[in-house]
Chains A and B, each alone.
Chain A
Amino acid sequence: AQKVTQAQTEISVVEKEDVTLDCVYETRDTTYYLFWYKQPPSGELVFLIRRNSFDEQNEISGRYSWNFQKSTSSFNFTITASQVVDSAVYFCALGRQNFVFGPGTRLSVLP
């Protein structure tokens, strides 16, 4: 069975602080994909990044960066210099064709 754990239910930071959202996954597949999605108050899940199990390179996109470590089954997401617009629920997901989502982490960035 596949499982995604996001242990942080809610995080609050002050604008310009860095914040890391944790994601730990379980799977018996040797080939799999990991994703991060953002769900703002409007409700639509917005795709942020995809990683396959063979690519452990960290990725940076602007203020966002992702750290994938197979040894610890983790795929953590860091926002540098957070902004109020980053406030949302963030979901980590795992799968190949069907996606298993974690419970989400609600991030509040205070001005």
Chain B
Amino acid sequence: EAGVVQSPRYKIIEKKQPVAFWCNPISGHNTLYWYLQNLGQGPELLIRYENEEAVDDSQLPKDRFSAERLKGVDSTLKIQPAELGDSAVYLCASSFAGAGTEAFFGQGTRLTVV
């Protein structure tokens, strides 16, 4: 069974440029998460989807970040414009719906903003 797939694995961009990350969750998983992981820290939730609906985006910096999950499967996270402080690993995870269900993570996209 395929796991959570993210692309690209690595991205280097100049500040003020836009960037997008793509995530394909595990088949059948209704819930999809985007997490941000800074170096030496634990992941922090950016947004959670239940099917197509963003049910928790309270931690998403909406002035520059946006996300979508059309058709309730794949998801895209976008940053426009990127800032130096956005350099981090962006992790996508998915799970079956329901409280306490474990999430399975992709390998992440490492973003470097120069």
Contact = CB atoms under 8 A, between A and B. Distances in A.
Chain A interface size, as a band, is 20 to 34
Given A47-B104, A50-B102, A99 B41 contact: no
Given A44-B106, A98-B48, A104 B100 contact: no
Nearest to B93: A45
Interface string A38-61: 000011111100101000000000
Q: Which of B44, B99, B103, B105 has the most CB of A within 10 A?
A: B103
A108 to B, nearest CB: 15
A101 B89 contact: no
A50 B102 CA distance: 7
Interface of A: 4, 31-33, 35, 37, 42-47, 50, 52, 91, 93, 95-104
B18 interface: no
B42 interface: yes
Contacts of A50: 100, 102
B107 A42 contact: yes
A46 B3 CA distance: 11
Interface string B15-57: 0000000000000000101000000111111001000000010
B43 A101 contact: yes
Interface string B80-114: 00000000010101000001101111111010000
Contacts of A95: 100
A100 B44 CA distance: 7
B17 to A, nearest CB: 23
Given A44-B105, A98-B48, A104-B41, 17 more contacts: A33-B100, A44-B3, A44-B107, A44-B108, A45-B93, A45-B105, A50-B102, A91-B42, A91-B43, A93-B42, A96-B99, A97-B31, A97-B100, A101-B44, A102-B42, A103-B42, A104-B42
